Amino acid sequence: NAGVTQTPKFQVLKTGQSMTLQCAQDMNHEYMSWYRQDPGMGLRLIHYSVGAGITDQGEVPNGYNVSRSTTEDFPLRLLSAAPSQTSVYFCASSYSKNSPLHFGNGTRLTVT
């Protein structure tokens, strides 16, 4: 029972580099989302998806791109990394609106 799997766990990037954070869930959840966590800021929503082929912006979408080609996968792309994107990133999914979110274990990203 894998749940929500995020890779990698840690990543260091140089300013301007691009990369993709991977997220996969095996619970057949329609809703998936990406959050970033910064000290003193809580968790802020970056992008979310309510099903394959459907994505929308959250609170802090700038500099990030997502796609949802399958129910299972929801990758987050950093187009041109900036030091302001240094953060811990969480992927989360849920079955329905009144179901709690299931979180991945997070990715700590450092941009130098």
Partner 1 sequence: AQTVTQSQPEMSVQEAETVTLSCTYDTSESNYYLFWYKQPPSRQMILVIRQEAYKQQNATENRFSVNFQKAAKSFSLKISDSQLGDTAMYFCAFRSGGSNYKLTFGKGTLLTVNP
Q: Are 102 and 25 in contact (CB under 8 A)?
A: yes
Q: Which stretch binds partner 1 (CB under 8 A): 19-27, 38-46, 60-68, 75-83?
A: 38-46
Q: Which two tokens stand for residue 81?
A: 């990394």
What are the residues whose beta carbons fall under 8 Å from the beta carbon of 30, sequence distance 6 or more? 50, 51, 71, 95, 96
Residue 88 binds partner 1, judged by CB under 8 A = yes
Residue 42 binds partner 1, judged by CB under 8 A = yes
Please tell me the distance from the alpha carbon of residue 27 to that of residue 63, in angstroms, as a whole number. 29
Residue 89 binds partner 1, judged by CB under 8 A = no
Q: Which stretch binds partner 1 (CB under 8 A): 16-24, 28-36, 60-68, 69-77?
A: 28-36
> Could you say which of 19, 27, 50, 52 contacts partner 1 (CB under 8 A)?
50
Q: Are 49 and 70 in contact (CB under 8 A)?
A: no
Closest to partner 1 by CB, 26 or 80:
26
